[in-house]
């Protein structure tokens, strides 16, 4: 029921995302004279066929970039503007907005081959990613969509029109898919909420809110403790949302997590990104909440859509691209003081109990399995 | 050439067969005693078995899933070429230090039927001819056959440790008795007629083909090898007229077997991977001994817990080995295979990738030189031929897991060949497959791993590594080329001291290094930010099987919360699950522990073999639990150790099916 069958089944073994078009592997020094490049190459990983195609494509790359500029010369099209347009819609997550923007690129594309289209998309998504390097769900959304394009191009190799139509349809539907994912997660996750329990949440997450609302709608009675969420004051927002459906809310300071933990039955957080190790990247403070919960043997649940799965593998906190956030300290601070103001932290998988995703309820180690099937 | 080779003194030789369990068991018999031995054992053996026993099929299956590690500890000039070997995996590269090489000077590889083998091989054949009609019974008992030749033809040669021949005969006597009294199935097996045995082999082979997947690499390399070889052997030995009868026999016999209750047993065997030969199982060992290729020498004072492993033994086995391998054309390993095998033996080729590439290159040239004999099909004959050659490799040194995977891949490709395919095309496609495997699975894979791994190195990092993994070396050098500022701690351990080789490479690239021994790892770990380690294999429960000491380093790093990254190509992954380092391992030379270079005063272990209360254990590998591993860097990306089964599931099928 929860299997990621649709992804796995379309997996094309010849494509590895790591081998971007720009790379030319040096194939020398080996006594290889004849290398079969037929269609029947069954081996996984990088194949010569793929390399050749990539090389062909990269040769035309400059031209195509140029034609894009030429075509839109009169009416400049910017992925980023498109993205921002979609992002301004309240119900859309960042990843969805990115996919919508990329769909717009396809619509306007005049590439004549799937490979050309792919390159164009790749450039667009690189631009998007560069625009906000810190956003994990943006990167993940772009990558996921590109991945889908690669697979489609593998499937519908000859017919560009059909491939394009399929991609556009997919892109258009993605918003809907993401809504559906949220509902699925809410449905799966609300089983874990039982009557009379107290839930601690940290950060503002649409999925978590949907889950809690659904649980209430199903007649469950529980209370929520939410953290203040400095500096964005996410706690106030969450409290307002929850109160509107009649869930009792307690607001605490971010530093009060350990103080309140003994009254808590479970910790439920969203995620900005779910990384390959099965850990999550989320608003600053999630890690310490998870640590405290682990110390007191409380379960930590994460609700996240599968499009937030990112091919990242941070080893520690410093291993992520920094995303500084302006912090407003009430007192004026002498300039000599260094302010460390990361907006997020990385919670390693050993502190998480389960992840509620639209692929099912997963253990952290299953995330990597899904990612491998999704991306490789 | 010949003379030179014979006079080479006492090369360290891995004893692959087995070692007799009791200390006073004779390794082999001197020529003079041969007759007594054969008579003694001949009495106890059914005459029917003689012929087949005679065929020197190396059925001994040493644990094939041992991974690579160099038996020779010294960082010699040869080592410097190690990374280069990866880049240029030609057979020539490996012999980088010919003067060290035992056989480098021999003309062997160039001349397939060279003077050298030819001359000396005549003799065993003559001997055979003489002894066969006489019906002396079990000439197949090892000492009877190869030994006289080698010792008679080369009197100057240094003989391995051998004890008198008398215990041999006494030892072999009780064994058949045991067999008849205690175990019912065993004597049955041994007493079956030749035809029956052949039929059984056929049935087994068929079963194996059907269940190719299920069996581990071992099942394919080892067991099949034995079967294939012995059949080939027999056929060649049989008169030509006889050959025509052979197929007729095959027909009815298997069906008879199927009728009996033997079949379910076979089915069972199919599902369970073939058990490794446990070297502490006296019966099995004795049985294997009879079929063994390599002369036996003695290790003393074996460590109790590791008795089931093939023991590392000194000795000159080369002459006997050659004698046995060369006296028959079908048995003869290809010259390239022979060369590489001996390079394994002498420790000239070490390191998982280097060994695997050398093996593939050797098999590649074997396939290029291969012609299908008349009345045989390429697929089956080539498979048997490859089994022969692989067995030779195993004789020289147990296969590593990566090599087993490569062989499995090659065999799958051979099995997939259409029978109707012309020989030239079949060969070309196989060669292309091998080349592709080497490029994609090893060369490209390493480049990808390097690309992934350098992203985890930041300015100011202190990286720690242990031993000398060529992938790690490539990573460090690449990171340096990219201008990253970091420091490397090379942790080394006795007796191999491989780290010195790595140190030399890194220093030549002006990388700032610290060199220390394992003993200091907890101290040095305080300042380390990343640990990079290589691996011989990664097993499906995430256990990392690597050079001994890896587990220790990983454990210390884990205790200090330092991330441990294992760099390993996916072709080295294996479906097996292993929880300890005992069940499967490779024993190194115990004498390597005895002497410390430059410390002649440390003589406490001199003559250790005479003290029965003392055992020396020199392990080659250990298993690092997945808990201590933060990530595994493969060419497919960086994955947690829990994802190894997924990669196996998603990617292994394409190579083996």
Which of B106, B76, B2 is closest to B497 using CA atoms?
Answer: B76
Tell me if A25 and B651 make a contact (CB, 8 A cut-off): no
Q: CA of A111 to nearest chain B CA: how many angstroms apart?
A: 29
In angstroms, the Cα distances linking B457 to A328, B464, B478, B529 are 33, 12, 11, 9
Query: Is the predicted pLDDT of residue B33 greater than 70, yes or no?
Result: no
Q: Taking Cα atoms as reference points, which of B320, B397, B389 lies closest to residue B143?
A: B320
- What was the pLDDT predicted at B374? 82
Lowest mean pLDDT of A135-139, A321-325, A366-370, B96-100, name the range. B96-100
Using the Cβ of A365 and the Cβ atoms of chain B, whether some distance falls under 8 Å is answered with: yes
pLDDT of residue B225: 39
Three-state DSSP class for B529? coil
B181 class by beta-carbon count within 10 Å (0-12 exposed, 13-18 middle, 19+ buried):
exposed
Q: How far apart are CA B172 and CA B166, in angstroms?
A: 10
Where do we find the tokens 């290790």? B299
Predicted pLDDT of residue B656: 56
C-beta separation of B10 from B393 below 8 A: no
The better pLDDT of the pair A51, A153 is held by A153
What H or E segment, with its residue span, contains residue B204? helix B194-210
Distance (Å) of CA A235 to CA A202, A281, B88, B278:
7, 18, 61, 64
- The proportion of chain A whose per-residue pLDDT surpasses 70, expressed as a percent, equals 76
Given pLDDT bands bounded at 50, 70 and 90, which one contains residue A90? low
Backbone phi, psi, residue B507, to 5°: -65, -35
Cβ distance of A315 and B630 shorter than 8 Å: yes
Pick from A61-65, A341-345, B308-312, B653-657 the range whose average pLDDT is largest: A341-345
Q: Radius of gyration (Cα) for chain B, nearest Å?
A: 25
* CB-count burial class (<10 Å; 0-12, 13-18, 19+) for B590: buried
Q: Of A293, A220, A225, A286, which is closest to residue A258 (Cα–Cα)?
A: A293
Q: What is the pLDDT of residue B136?
A: 37
A32 touches chain B (CB under 8 A): yes
E strands present in B395-460: none
| pLDDT value of residue B42 | 40
What value does the mean pLDDT take over residues B331-354? 85
Tell me the shortest Cα–Cα distance from A47 to chain B, in angstroms. Answer: 7
Angle, CA A177 vertex, CA A176 and CA A183 arms, to 5° = 95
Q: State the average pLDDT over residues A274-286.
A: 93
Rounded CA-CA distance B382/B419 in Å is 12
> pLDDT-derived band of residue B376, with 50, 70 and 90 as boundaries?
confident
Predicted pLDDT of residue B291: 56
- Averaged pLDDT of chain B: 68
Nearest by CB to residue B435, choosing from A32, A277, A375, is A32
B-chain CB neighbours of A36 within 8 Å are 429, 432-433, 436
pLDDT above 50: residue A22: no
Whether residue A42 lies within 8 A of chain B, CB to CB, comes out as yes
Among the listed ranges A97-106, B239-248, B351-360, which one has the minimum average pLDDT value? Answer: B239-248
Among chain B residues, the shortest Cα distance to A374 is held by: B650
Contacts of B446 in chain A (CB under 8 A): none
* Confidence at residue B195, expressed as pLDDT on a 0 to 100 scale: 65
Mutate which: A36, A38, A45, vs B, most B CBs within 10 A? A45
Chain A contacts of B87, Cβ < 8 Å?
29
pLDDT of residue A184: 92
Render pLDDT for A233-256 as a digit per residue (tens, 0 to 9). 899 999 999 999 999 999 999 999
Is the pLDDT score of B126 beyond 90? Answer: no
Confidence of residue B508 (pLDDT cuts 50, 70, 90): very high
Q: A278: which chain B residues are within 8 Å (Cβ-Cβ)? A: 640, 642
CATH number of A62-175: 1.20.120
A224 versus A17: which is more confidently predicted?
A224
Distances (CA, A) of A137 to A148, A323, A354: 16, 13, 20
DSSP 3-state of A341: coil
pLDDT band for position B128 (cuts 50, 70, 90): very low
Least confident range from A314-328, B76-90, B307-321, B503-517: namely B76-90
Q: What percent of chain B has pLDDT over 70?
A: 52
Residue A84 is predicted with a pLDDT of: 78
Give the pLDDT band (50/70/90) at residue A154. Answer: low
Distances, alpha carbon A136 to alpha carbons A19, A132, A250, in Å: 21, 9, 30
What are A222's strand-pairing partners? A197
Choose the weakest-confidence range: B115-129, B262-276, B278-292: B115-129
Burial A261-293 (b: 16+ CB within 10 A, else e): beebbbbbbbbbbbbbbbbbbbbbbbbbbbbbb
**Residues paired with A200 in a beta bridge:** A225, A267
Range in A322-326, B107-111, B386-390, B458-462 with the lowest mean pLDDT: B107-111
pLDDT of residue B484: 94
Segment A326-331 long-range contacts (CB within 8 Å, at least 24 positions apart): A326/A231, A327/A230, A327/A231, A328/A231
Q: What is the DSSP letter of A315?
A: S
Token pair of B246 as six digits: 């052979």
Angle between helices A364-375 and A136-155 (to 10 degrees): 40
Minimal Cα–Cα distance from A66 to chain B, Å?
Answer: 30
pLDDT for B326 equals 55
Pairs of residues, one from chain A and one from chain B, whose beta carbons lie less than 8 Å apart? 115
Spatial neighbors of B454 by CB under 8 A, at least 6 apart, are B475, B478, B479, B482, B484
- How far apart, in whole angstroms, are the C-alpha atoms of residue B386 and residue A108? 57
Q: In angstroms, rounded to a whole number, what is the distance separating the alpha carbons of residues A232 and A204?
A: 9
DSSP state of B310: P
* Least confident span in A346-355, B146-155, B193-202, B648-657: B146-155
Q: At what angle do helices B401-416 and B352-368 cross, to 10 degrees?
A: 30
| Domains A17-36+182-375 and A62-175 in one fold | no
Chain A interface disruption, residue of B642, B644, B654, most A CBs within 10 A: B642
Q: Where are the domains of chain A?
A: 17-36+182-375, 62-175
Count CA atoms within 13 Å of residue B240 on its CB side.
2
Q: Is the pLDDT of residue B467 over 80?
A: yes
pTM greater than the 0.80 cutoff? no
Which own/partner pairs from B604-613 qualify as long-range (CB within 8 Å, at least 24 positions apart)? B608/B301, B609/B300, B609/B301, B610/B300, B611/B301, B612/B23, B612/B300, B612/B301
Q: Are B47 and B137 in contact (CB under 8 A)?
A: yes
Q: Does residue B493 or residue B297 have the better pLDDT?
A: B493
Longest dimension (CA), chain A: 73
Q: Which among B203, B198, B334, B325 is positioned nearest to B260, based on CA atoms?
A: B203
Rounded to an integer, the average pLDDT of B145-173 is 38
Structure tokens at B557: 């790093």
**Cβ of A196 under 8 Å from any chain B Cβ?**
no
Our measurement of the distance from residue A105's CA atom to the centroid of its chain's CA atoms, rounded to an integer in Å, reads 20
Q: At what angle do helices B378-396 and B335-345 cross, to 10 degrees?
A: 20
B531's CB contacts (< 8 A; 6+ apart) are B463, B464, B465, B553, B554, B557, B562, B563, B564, B565
Side-by-side strand order, sheet with B537-539 = B573-574, B537-539, B544-547, B621-624
Residue B46 has pLDDT above 60, yes or no: no
Q: With CB atoms and an 8 Å threshold, state whether B639 touches A27.
A: no
- Residue B212's pLDDT is 56
Phi, psi of A231 (to 5 degrees): -90, 0
Q: For residue range A293-330, what is the model confidence (pLDDT) as tens digits?
A: 999 999 999 999 888 888 889 999 988 888 887 887 87
Contact between chains at A25 and B643 (C-beta distance less than 8 A): no
Taking an 8 Å cut-off on Cβ atoms, the answer to whether A16 and B636 are in contact is yes
Q: Which helix (H) or strand (E) covers residue A354, if one does?
A: strand A354-357
How close does chain A come to B463, measured CA to CA in Å?
Answer: 14
Which of A30, A47, A316 is nearest residue B89 as measured by Cβ atoms?
A30
Give the pLDDT mean for A30-50. 39
Instruction: Identify the residue whose tokens are 């053996």.
Output: B45
How confident is the model over A99-153, as pLDDT tens digits? 888 888 888 877 777 778 888 888 888 888 887 777 787 888 888 888 777 776 6
Structure tokens at B21: 């369990």
* Option in A30, A48, A368 nearest B443 (CB): A30
Q: Which two tokens stand for residue B303?
A: 């460590």
Fold for domain A17-36+182-375?
Rossmann fold (3.40.50)
Whether chain B has a CB inside 8 Å of the CB on A47: the answer is: yes
* pLDDT tier, A98 (very low <50, low <70, confident <90, very high otherwise): confident
Q: In what order do the strands lie in the sheet with A344-347?
A: A273-274, A280-283, A344-347
Segment A275-279 mean pLDDT: 92
Q: d(Cα A94, Cα A135) in Å, to the nearest integer?
A: 8
Q: Across-strand partners of B638? A: B633
Q: What is d(CA A99, CA A92) in angstroms, rounded to the nearest whole number?
A: 11
B542 contacts in chain A (CB < 8 Å): none
By CB atoms closer than 10 A (0-12, 13-18, 19+), residue A295 is exposed
Residues of B in contact with A35 (CB under 8 A): 432, 435-436, 439
Q: Residues B453-470: what's their mean pLDDT? A: 94
Average pLDDT over residues B533-548: 94
What is the model's pLDDT at position B194? 64
Residue with tokens 């587990």: B551
Q: Do A315 and B636 touch (CB under 8 A)?
A: no
Q: Are strands A266-269 and A197-202 parallel, antiparallel or unpaired?
A: parallel
B587 pairs with which residues across the strands? B619
Could you tell me which residue, A67 or B306, shows the higher pLDDT? Answer: B306
Lowest mean pLDDT among A1-10, A217-226, B379-388, B638-647: A1-10
Residue A372: CB atoms within 10 A of its CB come to 22
Give which of A214, A180, A356 is closest to A274, Cα–Cα. Answer: A356
What is residue B94's predicted lDDT score, i.e. its pLDDT? 38
Residues B543 and B628: their CA atoms lie apart, in Å, by 9
Confidence (pLDDT) at B191 = 53
């Amino acid at each position: 029921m929860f299997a990621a069958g649709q992804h796995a089944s379309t997996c094309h073994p010849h494509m590895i995302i790591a081998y971007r078009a720009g790379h030319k592997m040096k194939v020398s020094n080996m006594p290889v004279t004849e290398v079969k490049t037929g269609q029947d190459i069954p081996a996984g990983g990088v194949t010569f066929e793929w390399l050749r195609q990539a090389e062909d494509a990269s040769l035309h790359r400059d031209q195509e970039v140029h034609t894009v500029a030429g075509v839109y010369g009169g009416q400049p099209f910017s992925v980023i503007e498109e993205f921002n347009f979609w992002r301004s819609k309240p119900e859309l997550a960042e990843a969805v907005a990115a996919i919508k923007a990329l769909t717009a690129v396809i619509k306007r594309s005049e590439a004549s081959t799937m490979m050309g289209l792919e390159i164009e998309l790749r450039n667009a998504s690189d631009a998007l990613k560069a625009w906000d390097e810190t956003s994990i769900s943006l990167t993940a959304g772009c990558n996921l969509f590109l991945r889908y394009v690669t697979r489609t191009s593998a499937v519908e190799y000859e017919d560009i029109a059909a491939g394009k139509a399929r991609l556009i349809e997919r892109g258009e539907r993605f918003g809907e898919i993401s809504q559906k994912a949220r509902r699925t997660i809410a449905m799966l996750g609300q089983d874990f909420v039982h009557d009379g329990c107290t839930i601690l949440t940290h950060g503002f997450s649409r999925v978590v809110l949907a889950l809690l609302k659904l649980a209430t709608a199903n007649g469950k009675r529980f209370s929520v403790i939410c953290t203040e969420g400095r500096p964005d004051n996410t706690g106030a927002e969450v409290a307002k949302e929850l109160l509107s459906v009649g869930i009792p809310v307690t607001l605490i300071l971010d530093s009060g997590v350990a103080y309140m933990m003994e009254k808590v039955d479970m910790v439920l957080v969203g995620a900005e990104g779910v990384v390959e190790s099965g850990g999550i990247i989320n608003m600053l403070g999630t890690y310490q909440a998870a640590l405290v919960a682990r110390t007191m043997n409380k379960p930590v649940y994460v609700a996240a859509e599968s499009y937030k799965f990112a091919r990242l593998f941070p080893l520690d906190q410093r291993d992520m691209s920094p995303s500084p956030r302006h912090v407003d300290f009430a007192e004026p601070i002498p300039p000599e003081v260094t302010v460390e103001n990361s907006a997020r932290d990385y919670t390693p998988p050993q502190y998480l109990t389960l992840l509620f995703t639209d692929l099912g309820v997963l253990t952290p180690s299953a995330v990597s399995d899904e990612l491998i099937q999704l991306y490789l | 050439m010949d003379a030179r080779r014979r006079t080479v003194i006492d090369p360290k030789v891995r004893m692959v067969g087995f070692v007799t369990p009791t200390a006073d068991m004779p390794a082999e018999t001197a020529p003079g005693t041969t007759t007594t031995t054969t008579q003694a054992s001949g009495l106890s053996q059914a005459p029917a078995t003689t012929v087949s026993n005679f065929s020197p099929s190396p059925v001994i299956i040493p644990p094939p899933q041992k991974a690579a590690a160099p038996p020779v500890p010294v960082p010699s000039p040869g080592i410097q070429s190690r990374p280069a070997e990866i880049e240029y995996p030609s057979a020539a590269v490996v012999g980088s230090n010919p003067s060290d090489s035992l056989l480098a000077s021999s003309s062997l590889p160039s001349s397939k039927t060279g003077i050298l083998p030819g001359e000396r091989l005549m003799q065993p054949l003559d001997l055979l001819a003489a002894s066969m009609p006489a019906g002396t019974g079990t000439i197949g008992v090892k000492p009877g056959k190869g030994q006289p030749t080698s010792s008679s033809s080369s009197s100057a040669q240094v003989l391995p440790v051998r004890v008198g021949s008398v215990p041999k005969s006494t030892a072999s006597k009780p064994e058949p008795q045991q067999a008849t009294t205690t175990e019912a199935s065993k004597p049955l097996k041994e007493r079956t007629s030749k035809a029956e045995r052949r039929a059984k082999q056929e049935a087994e082979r068929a079963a194996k083909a059907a269940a190719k997947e299920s069996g581990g690499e071992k099942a394919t390399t080892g067991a099949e090898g034995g079967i294939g070889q012995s059949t080939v052997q027999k056929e060649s030995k049989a008169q030509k007229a006889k050959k025509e009868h052979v197929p007729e026999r095959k027909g009815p016999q298997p069906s008879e077997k199927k009728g009996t209750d033997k079949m379910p047993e076979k089915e069972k065997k199919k599902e369970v991977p073939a058990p490794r030969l446990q070297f502490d199982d006296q019966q099995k060992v004795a049985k294997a001994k009879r079929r063994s290729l390599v002369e036996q020498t003695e290790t003393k004072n074996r460590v109790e817990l590791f008795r089931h492993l093939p023991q590392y033994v000194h000795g000159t086995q080369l002459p006997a080995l050659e004698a046995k391998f060369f006296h028959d054309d079908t048995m003869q390993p290809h010259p390239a295979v022979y060369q590489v095998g001996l390079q394994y033996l002498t420790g000239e080729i070490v390191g998982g990738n280097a060994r695997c590439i050398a093996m593939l290159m050797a098999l590649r040239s074997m396939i290029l030189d291969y012609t299908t004999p008349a009345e045989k099909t390429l697929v089956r004959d080539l498979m048997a031929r490859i089994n022969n050659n692989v067995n030779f490799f195993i004789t020289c040194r147990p296969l590593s897991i990566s090599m087993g995977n490569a062989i499995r891949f090659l065999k799958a490709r051979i099995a997939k060949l259409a029978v109707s395919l012309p020989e030239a095309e079949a060969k070309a496609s196989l060669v292309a497959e091998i080349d592709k495997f080497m490029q994609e699975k090893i060369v490209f894979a390493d480049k990808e791993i390097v690309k992934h791994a350098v992203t985890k190195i930041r300015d100011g990092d202190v990286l720690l590594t242990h031993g000398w993994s060529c992938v790690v070396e490539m990573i460090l050098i690449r990171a340096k080329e990219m201008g990253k500022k970091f420091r490397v701690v090379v942790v080394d351990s006795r007796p191999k001291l491989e780290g010195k080789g790595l140190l030399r490479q890194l220093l030549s690239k002006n990388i700032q290094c610290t060199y220390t021994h394992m003993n200091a790892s907890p101290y040095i770990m305080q300042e380390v930010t990343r640990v990079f380690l290589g691996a011989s294999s990664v097993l499906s429960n995430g256990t990392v099987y690597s050079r001994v000491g890896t587990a220790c380093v990983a454990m210390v790093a884990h205790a200090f919360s330092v991330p441990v990254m294992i760099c390993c190509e996916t072709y080295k992954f294996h479906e097996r699950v292993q929880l300890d380092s005992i069940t499967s391992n490779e024993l190194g030379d115990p004498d390597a522990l005895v002497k410390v270079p430059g410390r002649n005063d440390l003589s406490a272990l001199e003559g250790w073999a005479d003290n029965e209360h003392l055992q020396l254990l020199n392990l080659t590998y250990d298993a690092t639990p997945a808990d201590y591993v933060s990530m595994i860097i493969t060419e497919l990306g960086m994955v947690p150790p829990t994802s190894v089964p997924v990669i196996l599931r998603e990617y292994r099928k394409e190579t083996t099916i």
